[in-house]
């Protein structure tokens, strides 16, 4: 009788631990990648902006704003390039300005997506914003900082050469 109770307690303990681990994993996957308020501020329509383009970009980024979609976020520049080329010519400047505004945010995820997209599309207009990030980068604290700063420096070199 005691052996069955002890085995039952062991089983319940394992199930409980597995349940708590799953809850933590789900919470981590639902955690946002970036501050949604920064995205909203960057995509506020300004003079001559096409509000539909900004709304489409904002909704796409809002959907991807979860840790679970971090891998997809790294290839977001490819999707934005396709989106850009599918836009009518009179809407493309809106996306160009939105990309520069993403670079100008203080969020590294948005800065990275904007920088990679600017490089892929050859937006020389983004050079001052990227150079501003390089100038204000400060000392590196870890390997992620090093990669981010190198990405920015490479972007400037590529855009100036292109």
CB atoms within 10 A of CB 153: 15
In the chain, the number of structural domains is 2
66 shares its domain with 100: yes
110 shares its domain with 142: yes
26 shares its domain with 4: yes
What integer pLDDT is reported at residue 145 of this predicted model? 85
Q: What's the domain range around 17?
A: 1-30
51 shares its domain with 121: yes
What is the spatial distance between Cα 106 and Cα 48, in angstroms, rounded to a whole number? 24
12 shares its domain with 84: no
26 shares its domain with 53: no
25 shares its domain with 90: no
Q: What is the pLDDT of residues 82-121, one digit of tens each?
A: 999 999 999 999 999 999 999 999 998 899 999 999 999 9
Q: What is the pLDDT of residues 14-25, one digit of tens each?
A: 666 676 667 666
Alpha-carbon distances of 13 from 3, 19, 71, 82, 145, rounded to whole Å: 15, 10, 34, 50, 41
Alpha-carbon distances of 146 from 2, 10, 94, 127, 149, rounded to whole Å: 58, 46, 31, 19, 5
């Amino acid at each position: 009788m005691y052996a069955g109770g002890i085995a039952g307690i062991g089983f319940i303990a394992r199930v409980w631990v597995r349940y708590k681990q799953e809850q933590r994993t789900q919470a981590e996957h639902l955690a946002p990648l970036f501050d949604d308020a920064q995205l909203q501020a960057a995509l506020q329509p300004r003079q001559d902006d096409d509000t539909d383009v900004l709304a489409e970009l904002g909704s796409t980024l809002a959907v991807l704003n979860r840790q679970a979609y971090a891998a997809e976020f790294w290839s977001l520049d490819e999707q934005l390039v396709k989106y850009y080329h599918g836009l009518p010519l009179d809407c493309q400047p809106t996306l160009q300005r939105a990309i520069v505004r993403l670079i100008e945010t203080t969020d590294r995820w948005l800065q990275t997506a904007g920088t990679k997209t600017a490089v892929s599309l050859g937006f020389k207009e983004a050079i001052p914003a990227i150079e501003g990030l390089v100038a204000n980068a400060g000392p590196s604290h870890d390997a992620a900082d090093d990669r981010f700063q190198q990405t920015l420096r490479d972007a400037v070199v590529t855009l100036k050469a292109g």
